[in-house]
A and B are shown apart, each in its own frame.
Chain A
Amino acid sequence: KNQVEQSPQSLIILEGKNCTLQCNYTVSPFSNLRWYKQDTGRGPVSLTIMTFSENTKSNGRYTATLDADTKQSSLHITASQLSDSASYICVVRFKAAGNKLTFGGGTRVLVKP
């Protein structure tokens, strides 16, 4: 079964600090891997998207990396802001799963002043 696991489940960081979120996926070729930000009570918003052959993708203070050998992706948030408080979800579109997306459990980030 294709799975996506994220860690940590939650973290608290001080404003201005950096943090890194992890996403591990199981053995399967995939079409793309995407990181989403979901504010409380809102739908997910795409931050980055990477194909199997890409190693890194940046979007402002968000940088996603992909290591296909270890089947890991990370999302690095630089100089965190209070508005970064949200859930961050790793989503993988596995080729074997057709059009369906496989969601990680998400990491809840709380940025404190």
Chain B
Amino acid sequence: GAVVSQHPSRVICKSGTSVKIECRSLDFQATTMFWYRQFPKKSLMLMATSNEGSKATYEQGVEKDKFLINHASLTLSTLTVTSAHPEDSSFYICSARVPTDTGAFFGQGTRLTVV
């Protein structure tokens, strides 16, 4: 099946610094990728839709200046958490739509801890 690779799987950063998370589609081109946030024992919450070559679409309540998304190529989308604070600590997951598939495939997730 299609493979979506997310990196890093875990990251610890100091409060006030920025962290970049990468999401790659390894064997297909993804014009659309999605970024989710997941709190403990909760389901995934869509943060934004990343469109290749254009601006991302953010869900209501998600700060676009806080969570910068770049989808510069058909195989890579990045999420940058800027000026991270402890409350940004969470599990972030990306997914990509496969053109030949009606569903979506997810990355492995990134555990962000801000200290």
Contact = CB atoms under 8 A, between A and B. Distances in A.
A43 interface: yes
What class of interface size applies to chain A in its complex with B?
20 to 34
Contacts, number: 47
Interface string B73-115: 0000000000000000001010101000011111111010000
B103 A103 contact: no
B25 interface: no
B108 A99 contact: no
A45 interface: yes
Interface residues of B, number: 24
B106 A41 contact: no
A46 interface: yes
B54 interface: no
Nearest to A43: B106
Given A93-B103, A104-B43, 8 more contacts: A41-B91, A43-B106, A89-B44, A99-B97, A100-B46, A100-B49, A105-B43, A106-B43
Interface of B: 1, 4, 6, 32, 34, 41-44, 46, 49, 91, 93, 95, 97, 102-109, 111
